[in-house]
């Protein structure tokens, strides 16, 4: 069962993107294009249709994609995904959902925690191409309009952060921790939140926030 | 990460066929270790076969054994009622490993297939016989604080990092694997191997075989068990030394014992001689100290891991005391 490989980016779009990089139109666009070029540099290999597009095969390799449909924060998305892309990179770079943070990118810090089918997982170690048909919830999907999720409110109330970089991951993890039934005691919370590192050391306040939401009986 | 071909397989047969004739193809399930290794170019499979839709997630009781599907998640197994009731040691070991997020992704089969966390294996700029046979072992005379004290060779002193496997070897589990010629069973103790002159081989699984399930025979170890893991921080770190202990008690006398260590060898390290020494003895600290002494026979330390020679027996005694309810 080989995957359906399609080439979605046409020559003009690629030219535009490369031109954008030359002009450094925005920092995000610049970083985005640069990372594409880095990928090209380390990813040689023959790619179909290279001749047709009259592009170097190395450039074409970066755009060999597989169609994937998934639901992100309740919205169905049809995406063309390069098999090497992680869910984290697709959320941030393709869907502009930059609330989910890239910390270590190696599964050691928990900053990239999202919910997939209601379970907390590390988006940096999840290949996006493997999320076909899944329901993904990110930090952006928690609030209902202007009304924050109880866990978001509790983090603000208890000052559960300092720099804030780990916070989206902590909040996603904290909600799951309660739903799993692993927030019965302070010790329980410490153990089952150990996959979320906070370099500012806001742990005592993070625990207070989770305890408050747990005691309030709120679920997801 | 190099480019790879991506395929999905939804049956065991299709999965095995997808790996045929390609030594560089790998199965992917949770991906928590493989994706990490691919990002670092430690592993570079040219083809990934996603097996997540193969129906191997069930945990069931059948003919005197508990059968755990290879794709059951680590968190699923740890919280499973049947496992908690019949094999609590396995649940304790699973919860001592990784983080809640990783346990929600990692599968039983994947946990068994995870690679060592030896820093020389992970750093592609340094020599490592496991990653690149023939380049030498950087750890042998390097920073070897995390490394093995049992069953090492001149080629490799890495340890197997799993907690789950330490419990499974203690519980006499069997691994069911499927290949082109059908299924076979491997006793858990023979699944992982010692490095010898081929440290690139972590286990005895053949290239074209898929782990189907793990079977745990019924046992008398539902009450007195403990998994004690010592690591550099309280949670979410690999073991310096861990011990799985299970006792079948008749009053205060030990009828049967199981003991295995993690963080000390290239495979989960079963301590059968120490187990034998416990049988028929009263569950006392003195009994446990004698067993620990037997357990540590043959241990050999390197420059930075000599502390394991002292930590090892202490952890064994503490694990047994906890299992016996003496603490």
Could you say which of B36, B52, B68 is where a domain stops? Answer: B52
* Strand pairing report for B47-50 and B241-250: unpaired
Inter-chain contact B8–A1, Cβ cutoff 8 Å? yes
CATH of the domain at B261: 3.30.390.50
Whole-number Å distance between alpha carbons of B216 and B213? 10
Give the domains, in start order, of chain A with CATH numbers. 1-62 (no CATH), 150-215 (1.10.150.120)
Q: To the nearest whole angstrom, how far is the Cα of B3 from the nearest Cα of chain A?
A: 6
Global pTM value: 0.89
Confidence (pLDDT) at A3: 41
- Residue in B99, B115, B161 to test binding to A, most A beta-carbons within 10 Å: B99
CATH of the domain at B12: 3.30.43.10
Both structure tokens of A189: 């919370």
Within an 8 Å CB–CB cutoff, is residue B98 touching chain A? Answer: yes
Residues of B in contact with A130 (CB under 8 A): 28, 31, 50, 52
Q: Please state which of the ranges A25-29, A87-91, B11-15, B68-72 shows the lowest mean pLDDT.
A: A25-29
Q: If you average pLDDT over residues B245-274, what whole number do you get?
A: 98
Within an 8 Å CB–CB cutoff, is residue B105 touching chain A? Answer: yes
Whole-number Å distance between alpha carbons of B308 and B241? 7
Inter-chain contact B101–A182, Cβ cutoff 8 Å? no
Confidence (pLDDT) at A12: 52
Q: Is residue B76 part of a domain?
A: no
pLDDT in tens, B43-58: 999 999 999 999 999 9
Tell me the C-alpha to C-alpha distance, in Å, between residue B18 and each of A32, A129, A198, B21, B56.
Answer: 34, 18, 42, 9, 17
Please say if the pLDDT value at position B179 is more than 80: yes
Within an 8 Å CB–CB cutoff, is residue A102 touching chain B? Answer: no
3-class DSSP state for residue A181? Answer: coil
Whole-number Å distance between alpha carbons of B153 and A172? 44
Chain length of chain B:
327
Q: Is residue B186 part of a domain?
A: no
Both structure tokens of B111: 């946990």
Whole-number Å distance between alpha carbons of B154 and A191? 38
Inter-chain contact A192–B100, Cβ cutoff 8 Å? yes
Q: A176: number of CA atoms within 13 Å, CB side? A: 31
Residue whose C-alpha is closest to residue B180's, from B21, B17, B52, B54: B17
Report the chain B residue with the minimal C-alpha distance to residue A173.
Answer: B101
**DSSP per-residue string spanning B96-159:** TSS-HHHHTT-BHHHHHHPPP--HHHH-TTS-BTTTSTTS-BTTTTS--TT--SSS-BTTB---
Confidence (pLDDT) at A164: 98
Q: If you average pLDDT over residues B255-271, what whole number do you get?
A: 98
Confidence (pLDDT) at B209: 97
Inter-chain contact B6–A45, Cβ cutoff 8 Å? no
Confidence (pLDDT) at A38: 40
- Neighbouring residues of A109: CB distance < 8 A, sequence distance ≥ 6: A103, A166, A169, A196, A197
Residues of B in contact with A106 (CB under 8 A): 36, 39-40
Report the chain A residue with the minimal C-alpha distance to residue B96.
Answer: A191
Inter-chain contact B36–A107, Cβ cutoff 8 Å? yes
Q: If you average pLDDT over residues B280-306, what whole number do you get?
A: 98
Whole-number Å distance between alpha carbons of A92 and B14? 34
Q: Is residue B34 part of a domain?
A: yes
Domain that holds residue B15: 5-52
- Neighbouring residues of A203: CB distance < 8 A, sequence distance ≥ 6: A190
Q: What angle do CA B33, B115, B232 make, to 5 degrees?
A: 85
Q: Is residue B147 part of a domain?
A: no
pLDDT in tens, B185-197: 999 999 999 999 9
Q: Is residue B146 part of a domain?
A: no
Whole-number Å distance between alpha carbons of B94 and A134? 26
Q: Is residue B204 part of a domain?
A: no
Residues of B in contact with A83 (CB under 8 A): 3-6, 48
Confidence (pLDDT) at B21: 83
Confidence (pLDDT) at A8: 42
Which residue matches tokens 């150990």? Answer: A194
Within an 8 Å CB–CB cutoff, is residue A199 touching chain B? Answer: no
What b/e string do you get for A166-181 counting C-beta neighbours within 10 Å, with b at 16 or more?
Answer: bbbbbbbbbbbbbebe
Helix (H) or strand (E) holding B200: none
Q: Is residue B118 part of a domain?
A: no
Within an 8 Å CB–CB cutoff, is residue A20 touching chain B? Answer: no
Within an 8 Å CB–CB cutoff, is residue A19 touching chain B? Answer: no
Both structure tokens of A21: 């990089």
Which residues in chain A come in under a pLDDT of 70? 1-63, 217-220
Percent over 90 (pLDDT), chain B: 98
Could you say which of B35, B52, B69 is where a domain stops? Answer: B52
Q: Which of A42, A61, A110 sits opposite B101 (nearest CB)?
A: A110
Q: Is residue B299 part of a domain?
A: yes
pLDDT in tens, A123-138: 999 999 999 999 999 9
B27 exposed, middle or buried (CB, 10 Å; 0-12, 13-18, 19+)? buried
Phi, psi of A100 (to 5 degrees): -75, 125
The band of B278, judged by pLDDT with boundaries at 50, 70 and 90, is very high
Mean pLDDT score of chain B: 97
The band of B87, judged by pLDDT with boundaries at 50, 70 and 90, is very high
Say if residues B191 and B151 touch (Cβ distance below 8 Å): no
Inter-chain contact A122–B28, Cβ cutoff 8 Å? no
Q: To the nearest whole angstrom, how far is the Cα of A21 from the nearest Cα of chain B?
A: 23
Confidence (pLDDT) at A64: 83
Phi, psi of B47 (to 5 degrees): -150, 135
The band of B258, judged by pLDDT with boundaries at 50, 70 and 90, is very high
The residues in A 139-178 lying below 8 A from B, measured between CB atoms, are 173, 176-177
Cβ contacts below 8 Å, chain A against chain B, sum to 100
Say if residues B180 and B20 touch (Cβ distance below 8 Å): yes
Q: How many domains does chain B have?
A: 2
């Amino acid at each position: 069962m080989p995957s359906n490989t399609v080439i979605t980016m046409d020559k003009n779009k690629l030219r535009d993107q490369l031109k954008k990089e030359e002009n450094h139109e925005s920092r995000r666009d610049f970083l985005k294009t640069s990372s594409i070029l880095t990928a090209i540099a380390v990813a040689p290999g023959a790619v179909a249709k290279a001749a047709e597009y009259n592009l170097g095969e190395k450039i074409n390799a970066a755009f060999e994609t597989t169609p994937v449909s998934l639901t992100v924060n309740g919205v169905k998305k049809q995406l063309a995904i390069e098999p090497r892309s992680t869910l984290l990179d697709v959320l941030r770079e393709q869907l502009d959902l930059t609330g989910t943070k890239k910390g270590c990118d190696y599964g050691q810090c928990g900053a990239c925690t999202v919910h997939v089918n209601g379970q907390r997982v590390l988006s940096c170690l999840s290949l996006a191409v493997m999320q076909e048909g899944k329901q993904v919830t990110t930090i952006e999907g928690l609030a209902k309009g202007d009304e924050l999720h109880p866990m978001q409110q509790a983090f603000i109330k208890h000052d559960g952060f300092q720099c804030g970089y780990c916070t989206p991951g902590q909040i996603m993890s904290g909600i799951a921790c309660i739903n799993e039934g692993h927030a019965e005691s302070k010790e329980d919370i410490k153990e089952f939140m150990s996959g979320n590192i906070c370099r500012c050391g806001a742990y005592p306040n993070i625990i207070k926030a989770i305890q408050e939401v747990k005691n309030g009986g709120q679920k997801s | 990460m190099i480019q790879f071909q991506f395929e999905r397989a939804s049956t065991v047969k299709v999965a095995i066929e997808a790996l045929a004739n390609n030594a560089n193809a790998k199965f992917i399930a949770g991906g928590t270790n493989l994706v990490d290794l691919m990002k670092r170019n430690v592993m570079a499979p040219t083809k990934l076969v996603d097996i997540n839709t193969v129906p191997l997630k069930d945990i069931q009781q059948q003919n005197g054994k508990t059968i755990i599907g290879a794709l059951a998640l680590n968190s699923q197994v740890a919280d499973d009622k049947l496992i908690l009731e019949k094999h609590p040691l396995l649940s304790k070991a699973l919860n001592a490993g990784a983080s809640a997020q990783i346990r929600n992704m990692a599968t039983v089969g994947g946990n068994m297939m995870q690679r060592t966390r030896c820093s020389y294996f992970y750093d592609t700029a340094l020599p490592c016989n496991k990653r690149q046979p023939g380049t030498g072992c950087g750890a042998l005379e390097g920073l070897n604080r995390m490394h093995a004290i049992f069953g090492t060779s001149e080629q490799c002193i890495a340890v197997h990092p799993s907690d789950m496997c330490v419990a499974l070897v203690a519980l006499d589990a069997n691994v069911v694997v499927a290949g082109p010629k059908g299924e076979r069973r491997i006793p858990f103790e023979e699944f992982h191997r010692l490095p010898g002159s081929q440290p690139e081989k972590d286990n005895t699984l053949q290239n074209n075989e898929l782990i189907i399930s793990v079977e745990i025979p019924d046992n008398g170890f539902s009450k007195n068990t403990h998994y004690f893991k010592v690591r550099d921080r309280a949670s979410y770190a690999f073991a310096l030394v861990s011990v799985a202990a299970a006792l079948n008690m008749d009053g205060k006398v030990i009828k049967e014992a199981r003991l295995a260590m993690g963080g000390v060898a290239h495979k989960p390290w079963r301590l059968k001689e120490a187990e034998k020494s416990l049988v028929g003895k009263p569950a006392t600290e003195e009994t446990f100290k004698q067993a620990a002494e037997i357990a540590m026979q043959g241990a050999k330390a390197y420059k930075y891991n000599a502390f394991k020679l002292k930590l090892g027996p202490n952890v064994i005694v503490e694990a047994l005391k906890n299992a016996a309810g003496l603490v």
